[in-house]
Amino acid sequence: MDKKVIALLNQQVNKEFFSAYLYLSFANYFENRGLSGFANWYLIQAQEERDHAMLFVKFLQNNDESLIYEAIEKPASTWENEMEVLKAGLAHEKFITDSINKIYATALDLKDFRTTQFLDWFIKEQGEEETNANELIQQAELIGKSGNGLYMLDQKLALRVYAAPSLVL
Ligand code: OFO
């Protein structure tokens, strides 16, 4: 594999672990506000991000490439309100989508089709994650300042259950 692609995949491992860390921080924020359904939703999101990190690890290992675990940046922990957290979630997903697109473009330039094929799953996954993050914002906007509505949305988010990624390496 080309060194450029290896370096980008290595950085992506760190970004996925950071995503997990950021979502744990979101979950903590909601837990402290008595919104344990939102907290549940982000705890599961954090699990998924860890799975993503490990898929990148496995891909590098399967290709006999070495990998280095870099330090994980400290995530934000204070926000003005719930909506700000939801918007930070969407902004983060867009950042990750952009990062994966850049790896894809680099791999494609280098005719590294094994990597582009691996990344296909992530391209689709990021589309779904942006949709989910967007829907949460739209639902929270509909609710506005209604405590009742927020409580009901929290109940709904409490139902989310963890599912292992459909991609197996
Ligand atoms: Fe890793 O899926 Fe979103 O960020």
- CA torsion, points 28, 32, 35, 40, in degrees to nearest 10? 30
- Which of 14, 129, 132 for mutating ligand 1's site (highest number of atoms within 8 Å of CB)? 129
Q: Is residue 165 part of a domain?
A: no
Considering the domain boundaries, does residue 163 fall inside one? no
Query: What's the confidence (pLDDT) of residue 145?
Result: 86
- Report angle CA 82, 149, 32 to the nearest 5 degrees: 40
Residue 72 DSSP class: P
Enumerate residues lining ligand 1, CB below 6 A. Answer: 16, 19, 49, 52, 93, 96, 125-126, 129
| Distance between Cα 148 and ligand 1 center (Å) | 30
The total domain count for the chain is 1
Mean pLDDT by 10 residues, the chain (169 residues): 98 98 98 98 98 98 96 98 97 98 98 98 98 98 92 97 96
What is the CB neighbour count within 10 angstroms for residue 65? 14
Q: Is the pTM of this model over 0.95?
A: yes
Nearest CA-CA partner of 153 in 83, 77, 94: 83
Closest-lying ligand 1 atom to the alpha carbon of residue 92: 4
Residue 120 lies in a domain: yes
Q: Does residue 147 lie within any of the structural domains?
A: yes
Gap between the Cα atoms of 166 and 120, Å rounded: 12
Minimal-distance CA residue to ligand 1 atom 1: 49
- Atom from ligand 1 closest to the CA of residue 16: 1
Give the number of other CB atoms < 10 A from CB of residue 126: 20
Domain region containing 43 = 3-65+78-158
